[in-house]
Amino acid sequence: MDVKTLCLAVLFQGEATGYEIKKAFEEGPFAHFQRASFGSIYPALSKLLADGMAVAEAHEQDGRPDKKVYRLTQTGRAAFHRAIGQEPEHDQFRSDMLFLLYFARELPPDRVAALIDRYIESYSSQADHIDSCRTERLTSGAEIDPGRWLVSGFGVEVYRAAADYLIRNRGPLLSGLSKHSQAAE
Amino acid sequence: MDVKTLCLAVLFQGEATGYEIKKAFEEGPFAHFQRASFGSIYPALSKLLADGMAVAEAHEQDGRPDKKVYRLTQTGRAAFHRAIGQEPEHDQFRSDMLFLLYFARELPPDRVAALIDRYIESYSSQADHIDSCRTERLTSGAEIDPGRWLVSGFGVEVYRAAADYLIRNRGPLLSGLSKHSQAAE
DNA sequence: TAATGCATGTAATCGGTTACATGATTCA
DNA sequence: TGAATCATGTAACCGATTACATGCATTA
């Protein structure tokens, strides 16, 4: 998804500043499946203004640059609905980890072990983080949006599955590698 | 991973043409976690030649352009080892599906159902495809590389987990959506 | 006869990252 | 005192996609 659509999506849920939009992709609800940088968000927001898809209100602040709060117009809301109406591509789990581990044989065994541990930790903490947001929302008593619930559940499940797989296969991989190097040498 | 490194990786496993490298990302062993287009592969290959990381041998063919078979040099092999020695970033499952389903409430229920079905099918067939390659390799009697084995196993497991999750949550999502729309209207 | 596979490459364009520039406040 | 948070923006650069250009052989 291009950053313009991503901004449209965040603003669709309520007014926000560029800074807050960035946070939505860092800690917020989109954090585990989309990403955007300041260098793409601010230009996208300017374009949204220029295209009449959003309006901005400046809130003065002392010492800091004026806070610019963006809000979608009807045009913007329509554009968002058009965007989510498009046929999406198939999802692919583009992974540097898999790329590296594919060549495990070419790496020192302790480096392979360290890599796996790093990714177990990384996947697990992602899953835990999403899961804690879920329990939080559940206990807050607020109404639960079925779409968001499914999306966060998916995150927990898939990242958990990834971590579990690595935990189960760490040993076999390492012993497989040492057997191979013994045979080769 | 940048396409230059990706080409280095394919060529590390043996000589290949640009066309064959493309196939490695379409049906080959890298298909489920990396991607590259002709428009990036051919320039990357030229750069590899220019940098002395690969040499190319032209094989004449009738009617078609000469087939150019690339092979890594020692320099190229060293560059590849340097590349896989770098610290990678954390993996993120960037997903258009999750983005769309997050806004399920904004879509017609039948469209949501169709989307989910599409992705169940897509994830399942990815998992099946990788799995069939695994059993093929297993029954071929050839030696199994532990790294590649782990990587393909990961693909099967994670795509399967994704499909399973959607199958289990399709109904609840849809009924959640209809309840909500009844309450709102 | 139309589409697909084989086979290589270029060029326009696009979208995004990274780094830079600025600067007050608060927390450790 | 140094780092992090809040807050906005620009510009250089890079990498990749898309479309284009060519053209034979095979398969449906």
Instruction: Over range A94-106, report the average pLDDT.
Output: 98
Question: Is B98 within 8 Å of A154 when comparing Cβ atoms?
Answer: yes
**Residue A21 CB partners (closer than 8 Å, separation 6+):** A6, A7, A10, A11, A36, A41, A45
CA pair distance B143, A173, nearest whole angstrom: 14
* SS3 of residue B159 by DSSP: helix
CATH number of A3-84: 1.10.10.10
Tell whether the model's pLDDT for residue A88 goes beyond 90. yes
Give the torsion sign (CA, B155, A172, A107, B139).
negative
Return the DSSP state at B60: -
SS3 B16: strand
- The mean-pLDDT minimum among A60-69, A132-141, B164-173 falls in A60-69
3-state secondary structure (DSSP) of residue B91: coil
- Tell me the CA–C1' distance in angstroms for A40 and D13: 14
Paired tokens of A103: 């060549």
Residue with tokens 């490298």: B21
| Predicted pLDDT at B60 | 81
Point out the least confidently predicted range of A25-39, A132-146, B44-58: A132-146
pLDDT at residue B35, as a whole number: 97
Contact criterion met (CB < 8 Å) for A180 and B32: no
From the CA of B178, how many Å to the nearest CA of chain A? Answer: 10
Strand C–CB B42 distance below 7 A: yes
Cβ distance B33 to A101 less than 8 Å, yes or no, reads no
Chain B interface mutation, best of A96, A156, A174, highest count of B Cβ atoms under 10 Å: A96
- Mean of all residue pLDDT scores within chain A: 94
Closest to B157 (Cα-Cα) out of A155, A126, A164: A164
Helix (H, G, I), strand (E, B) or coil at A29: coil
Can you give the pLDDT at residue A125?
A: 95
Residues in chain B, total: 185
Q: Is A68 helix (H, G, I), strand (E, B) or coil?
A: strand
How many beta-carbon contacts under 8 Å exist across A and B?
191
Question: What is residue B180's predicted lDDT score, i.e. its pLDDT?
Answer: 62
Q: How many angstroms separate the CA atoms of B111 and B114, rounded?
A: 5
- Residue B182: its pLDDT value, please? 60
User: How large is the average pLDDT for residues A122-126?
Assistant: 96
A103 vs B contacts (CB less than 8 Å): 9, 12, 84, 147
Does this model's pTM top 0.85? yes
Task: Tell me if B106 and A149 make a contact (CB, 8 A cut-off).
Answer: no
CA to C1' distance (Å), from A117 to C15? 34
Q: Protein contacts on strand D: list nucleotides below 7 Å from a Cβ.
A: 6-12, 15-20, 22-25
Q: Which residues contact A115 (CB under 8 A, 6 or more apart)?
A: A97, A100, A101, A107, B88
Strand C and A96 CB separated by under 7 Å: no
Record: contact A98-B9, CB cut-off 8 A = no
Given a cut of 60, whether residue A181 has pLDDT beyond it is yes
Say which of B100, B102, B162 has its CB closest to residue A158. Answer: B162
Over residues A101-121, the pLDDT tens digits come to 999 999 999 999 999 999 999
| Nearest nucleotide by C1' position to the B36 CA atom | D16
Query: Would you say A32 and A155 are in contact if contact means Cβ atoms under 8 Å apart?
Result: yes
In this structure, what DSSP letter does residue A94 have? Answer: -
Among the ranges given (A7-16, A159-168, A172-181), the one the predictor scored with the smallest mean pLDDT: A172-181
Per-residue pLDDT at A18 exceeds 70: yes
Distance of A39 CA from D9 C1′ (whole Å): 9
Q: In a structure prediction context, what are the per-residue pLDDT tens digits for chain B, which is 185 residues long?
A: 999 999 999 999 999 999 999 999 999 999 999 999 999 999 999 999 999 999 999 988 766 778 999 999 999 999 999 999 999 999 999 999 999 999 999 999 999 999 999 999 999 999 999 999 999 889 988 899 999 999 999 999 999 999 999 999 999 999 999 986 665 44
Average pLDDT over residues A57-70: 83
Q: Across the strands, what pairs with A70?
A: A16, A56
Task: Determine the pLDDT at residue B185.
Answer: 45
Inter-chain touch A157–B161, beta carbons under 8 Å: yes
Q: What is the pLDDT at residue B140?
A: 87
The candidate with the shortest Cα–Cα distance to B53, out of B2, B3, B8, is B8
Chain A residues inside the 8 Å CB shell of B90: 119, 122, 126
